[in-house]
Structure formats: structure tokens, C-alpha cells
Structure 1
Amino acid sequence: MALVNDRFSKWATGFSGCDGGDIGSPHSKSIWYCGIEWGGGHPDDEHELINKVLSNDVEFPSEGYTSDDSPPGWLYNLAYRFNWQAMKLLTAVSGDSITSYKVFAEKVKPFTKGEKGYFKMNLYPLAFVNTSHDLWKNGFAKATGLDTKKDYHDWIKANRFPIMKTWMDTYSPKLIICVGKSYLPEFSLAFFGEELTFESEIIDDRELSWAVNKNGTIMVVLPFLGNRNGLNKNVSIQKFGDRIRELLTTL
């Protein structure tokens, strides 16, 4: 059995992997937006990982993007493709046309410190350029104590997912938007504590899945936004957002 680094264990079972924002409460419910893992990539040097990543205090949820970020504050939502595609979807969920997503980003400022209603996170806390297991280099193994990315995923499932379930129970989001269809079982296990049976429907040749837990939280799982095999057409993003809004008002 692997001897997991204590610093990694503490970091990975906190609010690591979360861009943050307003996590909400049972009396002021937020919409959570969850990806698989951060993009870009953390350094694969053991010492950099330990001293610059795993040393961060993630005991409490981040309040979101700030003026110290680059680019600052809400502009971060328009700086990267994944973020601006998220803004399009959230604009549609709010009831507007995605053509006004830049106005929505500036006015509503999702995931930004001091603003309300939205919280951004990931299933897995470490950052990689893509989800390939080949990117698990020796530095990651040494810093975490886990030899492979599969070992890392298994450890996260056993140790982080139950913590994420407590977040869901404590903060009671009204909606969790999960991006990445192939990870549907993992999203269900992380937030609902079990693999629920999801309803599914096809919209513009892409699949939308959804389920509701006993506390009324709706989870929707949709294809990754932006890549060629995912949800990449504006008209389709609009339809998905409209349908999610419909689910919010009818379930």
C-alpha cells in the first residue's frame, strides 16, 4: 500500500482544485460548476509541487477571483476558452441569449470575490494539460506518494469524494453543472455518495444527463465545452442552457 504524503493528503481533502466564488448555503443556494481537473498543468518537480502547490491553505473555500489575479477579477471569466464557454452556458441558464455572455460576465461576475450565486470547482485537484495518464511524471509520484495517475484517482475517490459529499450536504447547492460525460459515475459518487440512475436526453446529437437527490439538488452532466467532440456549437450551448433552466423550474 502506498505511503501517501501527509501534506498532499491534507491539501487534497481540502478545497484544492476550486476556483471558488460563493459556495452558498441552504438558505442562499448557489449554482456549482464542476470540471474534471484544472488545465494548464502543475509543475512536475517534486519540490515545486510540495512548496508551491501543496503548501497552500485550502481549509476553507476560496472566495473566488480577485483583483490580484491575472487577468484581474471577473475578466478571468473571459480570458480562457473553457471559462468563456462556461459564461455562455450560465448566461443561457439565467434566461438570456448567449450572445450577451460578455455582458453577463461583467454584470453578474460569477466565481468572483464579493459576488453571489456561483462556485467553480473540479473533481481532481492537481492540474494537467489534459487528462492523459501519461502526464503523471516522477515528480507527482514523489510529491504525493502515489505511483500512477490511476493510484491518484483511486485515492481521490476513496478520500476526497466523501469530503465533497459533505460539502454538498452542508452548502446545499440548487444545481451542480458537471462537465465531462465520461466521468458521470465519478460526479455522482462525489456529490451524491452513490451512483444514481440518471435521466438522459439528446439535444443536437449531444447527451444531457440529469438526476435529483433527496434534498432537491439537481445535477446535470454534459459534454466538455469547446472541444470538437464536445459541446462546441453556440446554438447547442443555448439549447442545453435553456433545458437546464427548464429543469430548475420544473423539478
Structure 2
Amino acid sequence: MVTEQFKNSALSFAGCDGGNPKSDVWFCGLEWGGEQRNELDKPIQENEIYSWSHEDFDGAWLAQYNRKICWFLWYFHNLEWNNGENGGVFVKRYNILHSQLENGIGFKMNMFPIGFPNRNNVDWNETLQTLTGLNSFNEYRQWCVTHRGEFFRNAVQKFQPKVIVCTGIGEVNNFMQFFTGNTEYETQVTEKFKFYHSKFKNTLICVVPFFGGAGGINSYAKMESLVTHIKALLNS
């Protein structure tokens, strides 16, 4: 049986970098990377969502994935980013991933609340089984897609983002189930990559290649192309 401690954590904004959920653009990854922590984050409510303005996130934009978030928002909102300008200046100028109270731009979350180094190094050990009440990683993943997905679909209906950009096309079915409640979607093929899209209420859900890596969105040209195609879908 799933523990109340895990339910309270998973059915909250735990596992999210944060930002402003009232933003037009949300970003969703799988889970936090780094070392596996055999503990649960405390529940995070709407008024406690993290902000890049907090000292714990100082320099967060330097991570390659987060740089790509900055690129996306730059193209999507036609923001000013002077040639050679430090990314930290850009982040502070536009309050990138800052809180709702700070009129931040962008919101960043994860489909799953527990961090793992990567999918090849998941150790679903006795501690995690006890903390969650779930016997395997697959059981945990399915529970989150179903129940955490419902929590975030309610959040989507409340905050009405224009688009949610999910990174990792290998998880397209889980992302779509999480954000739309089903696995129906269309495929968009561009010159350099493909991505998938669907709608939930008034929000466009896009599952795109990972931000970075050899086969991902790893150049300004690819990012500009992605934003152009997403804007076309929003205007269609």
C-alpha cells in the first residue's frame, strides 16, 4: 500500500525546480539527476515553489539543460540577449524561472519526484520500498503517471500554460498519459528531428528530444526550429 508520506510528497510540487506556474511555457523532465537520495522531499505547495532567485539555485543556468531552457524562452518570447552577454545577466533581466510573486518567466518540473543518476542506475532498494510502499521502480513509475499526472492536470487547468515542453521522446507515452490522460498524439517531423504533440484542454503538450546530447536539441539552429514549429502549432 502506498504510504501517506509518499502521497503527500508526490501529489505536490516536490521534485520541481520551480519558477512561475502562471507562465505561458512549462518545461518537464523525467526526474532530478545527481546522486540517488534514499529519502522523500517534503511536500511543496503552490506558495512554496522554488525560484532561481534563491541562493540554492545560484548559477543554475550554467547547467547545459538549463541553458537550453534559456534559449527556448529567448526565441519564444523574442527577448533581448546581446551577443556575448553572460547568461546570468539574461536570467536576472527577465526573471527566468523566478517565482510568481517576482513575475518570473517559465516553470520547470519533473514527471517523477525522486531523483536518480540515470535510468541505468536505478536502485529501487528496501529503503525506497518502505518510504513509498511500492515494490519496484516500474510500479512507482506507473503510480506517478496515473496519480501525480492527475495532480498536474488539475494544475494545468488552473494555471493555463500555452505549452508544456517535455524532454525525452523515449518517454512519449508516459508524458502524454501524465498530461492528457491518454496516449494519443501526432508526430511532427522537421528537417533535423521529430517531436510529438497533443492537446489537453487549451494547453499544447509537446514531447521533444532531450535538451543537449548528441541526438538532442544541441544547437541554436535546432532550438530556433523547435520554437518556430511549436509557435506554428499554437497558431494553427
- Residues 21, 64 of structure 1: 8 Å contact kept: yes
Letter of the aligned partner of 1:209 in structure 2?
Y
Partner of 2:72: 89
Tell me, which stretches of 5 or more residues in structure 2 are unaligned? none
Question: Residue in 2 aligned with 1:4?
Answer: 2
Shift of 1:221: 1.4
* 3-state SS in 1 of match to 2:142: helix
One-letter amino acid of the counterpart of residue 3, structure 2? N
Q: Which residue of 2 aligns with 1:238?
A: 224
Q: Could you tell me which residue of structure 1 aligns to residue 198 of structure 2? A: 211
- Does residue 14 (structure 1) correspond to residue 12 (structure 2)? The answer is yes
Task: Kindly provide the amino acid, as one letter, of the partner of residue 33 in structure 2.
Answer: G
Which residue identity lines up with residue 92 of structure 1 in the other structure? Answer: Y
d(CA) in 2 for partners of 1:33 and 1:57? 20
Q: Is the 8 A contact 1:91 1:104 kept in 2?
A: no
- Describe how 1:87-126 pairs up with structure 2 within 5 A: 87-95=70-78, 102=87, 104-113=90-99, 114-126=102-114
* Offset of residue 123 of structure 1: 0.6
Partner residue, 2:28? 34
The answer to whether the 8 Å contact 2:29/2:109 transfers is yes
1:222 counterpart (208, 212, 236): 208
Task: Give, in angstroms, the shift of residue 90 of structure 1.
Answer: 2.0
What percent of counterpart residues are identical?
23
Counterparts in 2 of 1:70 and 1:225: CA distance versus 1, 3 Å: same
Give the Å deviation of 1:226. Answer: 1.1
Residues 114-143 of structure 1: per-residue CA shift (max 9 Å, x gap): 133321111111111112363323322222
Q: Which residue in the other structure is 1:65 paired with?
A: 51
Would the aligned equivalents of 2:51 and 2:57 in 1 still touch at CA under 8 Å?
A: no
Q: TM-score, normalised by structure 1?
A: 0.81
- Segments of structure 1 that go 5 or more residues without pairing to the other structure are none
SS of residue matched to 1:189: helix
Equivalent pairs counted in the alignment come to 231
Determine helix, strand or coil for the equivalent of 1:141.
helix
Q: 1:192 to 1:11 in 2, by over 3 A?
A: same
Which residue in the other structure is 2:190 paired with? 202
